Amino acid sequence: MNQAFEGKLQTDLDALKKAGTYKHLRHLTTPMAAEVHMEEAGDVIVLSSNNYLGLADLPEVVEAGKRGLDQFGAGTASVRFICGTFSIHRVLEERIAEFLGTPAALSYVSCWNANTGLFATICEAGSAIISDELNHASIIDGVRLASKARRERFKHSNMRELEEKLQSVADCFPVVVVTDGVFSMEGDLARLPEIVELARKYGAIVVVDDSHGTGVMGKTGRGTIEHYGLTGQIDIITGTLGKALGGAAGGFVAGSNALVDTLIQRSRPQLFSNALPATVACSSLAAIEYLESHPELVERLRDNTRYFRDALNRMGYKPLDSESAIVPIIVGETAFAIAVSDKLLKAGVFVTGFGYPVVPEGTARIRVQISAALTKDEMDRALAAFEKVGRETGLLKV
Ligand SMILES: *Cc1c(COP(=O)(O)O)cnc(C)c1O
């Protein structure tokens, strides 16, 4: 062991602990659901998972995964283009494309993987990528890998600045504008109608990563694009199977046939890394099918979100406005946000505090994420904990 190196790691870790930003892992012993058992805290209500539709422990989803394991075994032991493509990959990809209204789709082992495999493949020298400054880390890293492309950033949802950037890359081709559909720390939506209009005006293509919007936004849960009535008008959609759509893992790129074919030929995670395990492909497919036949789940999620948000407002909290299932409550300093979430955990509610550097200094927050799986009784118990902790910590006056 190299003592100098170990010493450096320990010094850095100690600094995190001193700053109150050190992350402690919590260990669950039951499936992800509205209530879980946590080794460190006992039985708690979960308000911080991405299990928006409660499909992670749905018997239909779990059973489909088991059948997938029986039929296909543990995995492909190969990359896609050698001998690592099972028939279930094709079925899943056709279903994702149909669900999103695109001609084709391609699965990856995660959306992180999809984003890091997309931009470097489609953006060579002479191209440009324009990215919202609050885009997800996987988009930022994916764009970085397109090192030959010209890379520009615009202020969050600032359309004037987006237009300036579009003008500044007029000599590039292709020009790609990329945005989250739902921004995970604010819960707000991308201004897609304006982005699409600007992209058309300047001949650019639009990429939307709708990881937090899929299963959540739109009348039938097809995402932010459905919400805005823009189905069929977005060039490329990326997303995850690890949030609302079953919660296991997996991601995808959806778009034209030529795009998907290009990614099969040249996207590096496709060429050099194993395919999505068949068991996950099967459980994700079951989750999509379940959502297609139960659109009322999306309505329940929306009702739950409205119920919880209204109750917080009545109590005196002032959550950020948003149309998604993300309800952020700004509390100020990072250490305070962590202290509040610790107190909530002791009161039986698991909700995460986020601080600097994930969000700007002074805007640390408690991020509530609502699930369709929450019953009214569970929400009322969680709200009682928010009231108690709010008074103890001074977040609520009197
Ligand atoms: C969660 C998330 C991802 C990562 O998804 P994984 O499938 O877990 O890798 C990518 N992009 C956005 C916008 C996300 O919210």
Give the number of other CB atoms < 10 A from CB of residue 20: 14
Q: What is the mean pLDDT of the chain?
A: 97
Q: What is the mean pLDDT of residues 107-116?
A: 98
Q: Ligand 1 in contact with 238 (CB < 6 A)?
A: no
**Greatest pairwise CA separation for the chain in angstroms:** 66
pLDDT at 23: 86
CA 84 to CA 76: how far, in whole Å? 5
pLDDT tens digits for 156-166?
Answer: 999 999 999 99
Band (398; pLDDT cuts 50, 70, 90): low
Band (22; pLDDT cuts 50, 70, 90): confident
Q: Ligand 1 in contact with 109 (CB < 6 A)?
A: no
Query: Exactly one of 212, 267, 284, 324 is catalytic; which is it?
Result: 212
Q: Ligand 1 in contact with 136 (CB < 6 A)?
A: yes
From 48, 51, 106, 111, the mutation candidate for ligand 1 (largest count of ligand atoms within 8 A of CB) is: 111
Beta pairing partners, 237: 208, 254
Give yes or no for residue 20 having a pLDDT over 80. Answer: no
Q: What is the mean pLDDT of residues 136-152?
A: 98
Ligand 1: atom nearest CA of 180 is: 13
Among residues 37, 90, 32, which one has the least CA distance to residue 61?
32
> Is 184 assigned a catalytic role?
yes
Ligand 1: atom nearest CA of 210 is: 13
Q: Which residue has the tokens 């119920």?
A: 307
Band (358; pLDDT cuts 50, 70, 90): confident
pLDDT tens digits for 31-45?
Answer: 999 999 999 999 999
Count CA atoms within 13 Å of residue 306 on its CB side: 6
Q: Ligand 1 in contact with 184 (CB < 6 A)?
A: yes
CA 348 to CA 345: how far, in whole Å? 5
Q: Ligand 1 in contact with 218 (CB < 6 A)?
A: no
pLDDT at 349: 98
Query: Exactly one of 157, 184, 211, 267 is catalytic; which is it?
Result: 184
Q: What is the mean pLDDT of residues 99-119?
A: 98
Q: What is the mean pLDDT of residues 380-396?
A: 97
Give the lowest-confidence range in 63-77, 90-104, 231-245, 352-366: 352-366
Q: 125: which 2 tokens?
A: 């020298």
Q: How far is the CA of 78 from the centre of ligand 1 (A)?
A: 24
pLDDT at 378: 98
Domains of the chain: 20-49+295-393 (3.90.1150.10), 59-293 (3.40.640.10)
Q: Ligand 1 in contact with 302 (CB < 6 A)?
A: no
Ligand 1: atom nearest CA of 50 is: 1
The answer to whether residues 304 and 375 touch, using CB atoms and an 8 Å cutoff, is no
pLDDT at 21: 77
pLDDT tens digits for 212-263?
Answer: 999 999 999 999 999 999 999 999 999 999 999 999 999 999 999 999 999 9
pLDDT at 394: 94
pLDDT at 88: 98
Band (356; pLDDT cuts 50, 70, 90): confident
CA 350 to CA 382: how far, in whole Å? 9
Q: Ligand 1 in contact with 111 (CB < 6 A)?
A: yes
pLDDT tens digits for 38-79?
Answer: 999 999 999 999 999 999 999 999 999 999 999 999 999 999
| 3-state DSSP of the chain | CCHHHHHHHHHHHHHHHHHCCCCCCCCECCCCCCEEEECCCEEEEECCCCCCCCCCCCHHHHHHHHHHHHHHCCCCCCECCCCCCCHHHHHHHHHHHHHHCCCEEEEECCHHHHHHHHHHHHCCCCCEEEEECCCCHHHHHHHHHCCCCEEEEECCCCHHHHHHHHHHCCCCCCEEEEEECECCCCCCECCHHHHHHHHHHCCCEEEEECCCCCCCCCCCCCCHHHHCCCCCCCCEEEEECCCCCCCCCCEEEEECHHHHHHHHHHCHHHHHCECCCHHHHHHHHHHHHHHHHCCHHHHHHHHHHHHHHHHHHHHCCCCCCCCCCEEEEEEECHHHHHHHHHHHHHCCEECEEECCCCCCCCCEEEEEECCCCCCHHHHHHHHHHHHHHHHHHCCCCC
Angle formed at CA 381 by CA 182 and CA 329, multiple of 5 degrees: 35
> Is 157 assigned a catalytic role?
no
> Is 156 assigned a catalytic role?
no
pLDDT at 123: 98
Band (149; pLDDT cuts 50, 70, 90): very high
pLDDT tens digits for 295-329?
Answer: 999 999 999 999 999 999 999 999 999 999 999 99
